[in-house]
Amino acid sequence: MHYLLHWYAVYLSEGLDDLSSEIRDSVKTYRRGTDSDKTFIEEALIRTEDGNDRVASSELFVHHNSWTKQRLTKQAFSKRMKSNEIEIKAMRIEGVQAMGICGHRWNLELKIEIQRDSNEFVIYD
């Protein structure tokens, strides 16, 4: 038992820095496959880095919960976005003060697919 505690302390202080790139890639692939929130972000949002491109977080939240089986509360959704390096902050979106994500725009094909599948299909001019 003493031996295990010793190496556990070493693990806590040093971590596993000596992982091969193959193992790191496998872990990343596994996490991507099991993290539905990250998958949603990668498929739903297109990063543009343009400050004029904005997505309302309330709209993103509704579509996320339509897209996945794992329903989140607004607070849990905000935490998941933050853990995936997506910052939600107050801003003006189409002239209205709202919480949103700056520097991203919708993947319109996915947005239309989600709306069609949830019977909320809206035709945009």
Token digits for 38? 């990250």
Residue 43 located in a structural domain? yes
Q: Is residue 3 part of a domain?
A: no
Q: Rounded CA gap, 116 and 94, in Å?
A: 24
Range of the domain at 67: 35-117
Does residue 57 form part of some domain?
yes
119 is written with which tokens? Answer: 């019977």
Q: 99 lies in a domain?
A: yes
Q: How far apart are CA 61 and CA 96, in angstroms?
A: 18
* Residue 18 CB neighbours (<10 A): 7
The answer as to whether 12 is a domain residue is: no
Q: Is residue 16 part of a domain?
A: no
Instruction: Tell whether 87 is covered by a domain.
Output: yes
Quote the number of domains for the chain.
1
User: What pTM does this model have?
Assistant: 0.66
Reading the chain (125 residues) residue by residue, the pLDDT tens digits are 888 888 888 878 777 667 778 877 887 777 666 678 888 888 999 999 898 999 999 999 999 998 887 889 999 999 989 888 889 999 999 899 999 999 999 999 989 988 888 765 444 44
In a domain, 96, yes or no: yes
User: For the domain that residue 41 is a member of, what is the CATH number?
Assistant: 1.10.10.10
